[in-house]
Structure 1
Amino acid sequence: MTTQDMVLDVRDLVVEFPVGRGEKVHAVSGLDLELRAGETLGILGESGCGKSTAGRAIMQLPPPTSGSVGFDGHELVGLPARTLRRRRARMQLIMQDPISSLNPRRKVKDLVAEGLSIWGFDASLHDGKDKDTVVRELLEAVGLEPDVVWDRRPDELSGGQCQRVCIARALMMRPRVLICDEPVSSLDVSVQAQILNLLEETKERFSFSMVFIAHDVSVVKNISDRVMVLYLGKACEVVPSDGMHRTSVHPYTRMLLASIPGAETEAAADASSWVGASVKTTELPSPLNPPSGCRFRTRCPLATELCATEEPRLREIAPGHLVACHHVATGESGSALA
């Protein structure tokens, strides 16, 4: 992958939160992430694994404890506030709760146009159209009728309508990268499919790359080109979503696949043969004091003494497929554990 193909390059991202008495929460620990132009990278894991924290740290909300975040060839970490705000304008965030993320006092027309109001409106960049026309066209692009929602406030809209407003507001800045932090988890199932289809359609139309964060395996697998699986702040596997159920080899990824209701895939069946009786515990360890070595070892049925003393590193076992596990042999994706 060439430098021109990469819009986001994150290296050794660390996010820690002090909690007093010399202790700190190890939310994200040494995360590496690459995002190509036009790609959707899914970030998958249980609640508390650091998914949302990683997404916000990439946006510098707040800045990470350490590490590097390269966006469009520019380093974001350590930039002066004014320079950061300007460079970050083309990296937008869609939050989990669409209603609380919108100012309840402002009307839809003002919410969507907020970015233009802050950075200035240049008609020459919009084929000579005025601002209201641009806002109306964008509302139509996300499936809202401008005449209906124009003067409404967030409390007069449904959850799905509010999420469409959030998407329109983000797209107004013509982002290069859109970070979606569990954008459908608070919506009804019938609305979730509409929002997911909308994201895919607008991604194609407006030509941006996307980081899609969620804990729903099926949702992440279906919308993503590649999937990064996080566990307790660390990446344990990065796998192409096409055929993920066949090629995933990390025990944690297999457990996630086995958790899908009605799963009948080979990987899920293989995992379900030892999920339950063989798993040591279902409890997620505390991020205040993560386990030594492999952080998944306290729940992994394959754990050995090596897993407690040596931390596994992400390594490529097939083109585009990386895994951090001592018990996976280098070779073709989908091969048996070593």
Structure 2
Amino acid sequence: MAGSGTAHLRPEAERALVVDDLVVEYPAGRGTVHAVSGLSLDLLPGETLGILGESGCGKSSAGRAVMQLPPPTSGEVRLGDVDLTALPARRMRAARARMQLVLQDPVSALNPRRRVKDLVVEGLEIWGWGERDRDRFVDELLSSVGLDPATVRDRRPHELSGGQCQRVCIARSLALDPDVLICDEPVSSLDVSVQAQILNLLERARERLRLSMIFIAHDVAVVKNISDRVLVMYLGKTCEVLPSASLEAALHPYTRLLLASVPESSGAEDAADPADPADPAAAVVGELPSPLAPPSGCRFRTRCPLATERCAAEEPVLREVRPGQFTACHHVEES
């Protein structure tokens, strides 16, 4: 991890993406929405980092700020050796081609007036075809995401299912051969059976193209299934970062709350038992505070059963509590 209170996993030259102390704030009437507050992360080539948290925690704001859509309030985003936050608009436009975004609602993400074959190659038309054979390239891309080119190439988005539209969105994202793919809740609007197909598709694309991915979601089982590491966010702050294989060994009370909310049938049999009074997650109560006025100290303290006066006075920093596991909590030992 990068930034204050974190540790680098690899030398910077080996990382595909580095985010340092990212801050995203929005004006709201007479106040300010503190969407993301000091987020730091790094991403290795070919790695998938899951960003997990409930709605309103700042996940999507962080993903868009990484792509400079819009630029963050402060902080640094480095794609390879390029500092995106310092680029002029023309160079930023070119650098953005190395990153692609897959959105939550695939139907709305596609121009309803254009045919699939035109949507898929839109980026290449902007940046120049070179010597590519357009029709052959379209067919290869559609086949790579599990679509029959002869069936779908001349259709428009309203003639496709939600799952087919998401496959088209992924094909369009892969057309420019990006280094980093940011997936913002890409399966949350799809049926469970289609979700599994899209997750498998993304995993195959990552392995085949050695893509680095940021996968944003609120579903614990989905994030665990596709990610190498998981970053847990709460109200704009990082609570915990750990390998996905160690998710059930999470120490932060908020992460344990998320685990406790997963039904056993989802495959998280080892997750904390929400009915167990010895589990800190079982005692979590209260509403999510407003990002307009986040709590002092630890932002989770207003809902945390372990909270003390120290939690209100002093913000915990991420520290390595186990190899590869970083937790921001004053009471890790009690967890």
Structure 2 distance, partners of 1:107, 1:163, is 14
Structure 2 distance, partners of 1:158, 1:146, is 15
Amino acid at match of 1:241: S
Aligned residue in 1 for 2:108: 100
Aligned residue in 2 for 1:126: none
TM-score, normalised to structure 2, is 0.93
Amino acid at match of 2:295: P
List 4+ stretches of structure 1 deviating above 4 A: 263-267, 274-277
Aligned residue in 2 for 1:333: none
CA contact under 8 A between 1:254 and 1:271: conserved in structure 2?
Answer: no
Aligned residue in 2 for 1:140: 143
Amino acid at match of 2:326: L
Structure 2 distance, partners of 1:38, 1:174, is 13
1:168-207 alignment, distance < 5 Å: 168-207=171-210
**Which one of the candidate residues 278, 288, 300 is aligned to 2:283?**
278
What is the deviation of 1:193? 0.4
**Which one of the candidate residues 58, 79, 83 is aligned to 1:75?**
83
CA contact under 8 A between 1:313 and 1:325: conserved in structure 2?
Answer: yes
**Which one of the candidate residues 17, 42, 47 is aligned to 1:8?**
17
Aligned residue in 2 for 1:289: 293
Is 2:153 the counterpart of 1:150? yes
Cα distance change, pair 259–277 in 1 and its aligned pair in 2 (3 A): closer
CA contact under 8 A between 1:94 and 1:166: conserved in structure 2?
Answer: yes
Cα distance change, pair 261–122 in 1 and its aligned pair in 2 (3 A): same
Paired residue secondary structure (1:77): helix
Cα distance change, pair 277–134 in 1 and its aligned pair in 2 (3 A): closer
The C-alpha deviation readout for 1:235-292, integer Å capped at 9, x for no partner, is 00001001311x21000000100100127645513884346873341x1000000000
Structure 2 distance, partners of 1:266, 1:133, is 48
What is the deviation of 1:209? 0.5
Aligned residue in 2 for 1:121: 129
Aligned residue in 2 for 1:254: 256
Cα distance change, pair 275–321 in 1 and its aligned pair in 2 (3 A): closer
Structure 1 distance, partners of 2:283, 2:244, is 27
Structure 2 distance, partners of 1:226, 1:107, is 37
**Which one of the candidate residues 20, 33, 43 is aligned to 1:35?**
43
Is 2:302 the counterpart of 1:298? yes
Paired residue total: 323
TM-score, normalised to structure 1, is 0.92
Amino acid at match of 2:316: P
CA contact under 8 A between 1:255 and 1:272: conserved in structure 2?
Answer: no
Cα distance change, pair 219–107 in 1 and its aligned pair in 2 (3 A): same
Aligned residue in 2 for 1:332: none
Structure 2 distance, partners of 1:175, 1:188, is 27
Aligned residue in 2 for 1:220: 223
Paired residue secondary structure (1:200): helix
What is the deviation of 1:2? 2.3
Unmatched 5+ residue regions in structure 2? 1-9
Paired residue secondary structure (1:175): coil
Structure 1 distance, partners of 2:61, 2:38, is 13
Paired residue secondary structure (1:243): helix
Is 2:331 the counterpart of 1:327? yes
Paired residue secondary structure (2:85): coil
Paired residue secondary structure (1:99): coil
Percent same amino acid at aligned positions?
A: 67
What is the deviation of 1:78? 3.3
Is 2:232 the counterpart of 1:229? yes
CA RMSD of aligned residues (A): 1.5
Aligned residue in 1 for 2:63: 55
Amino acid at match of 1:297: R
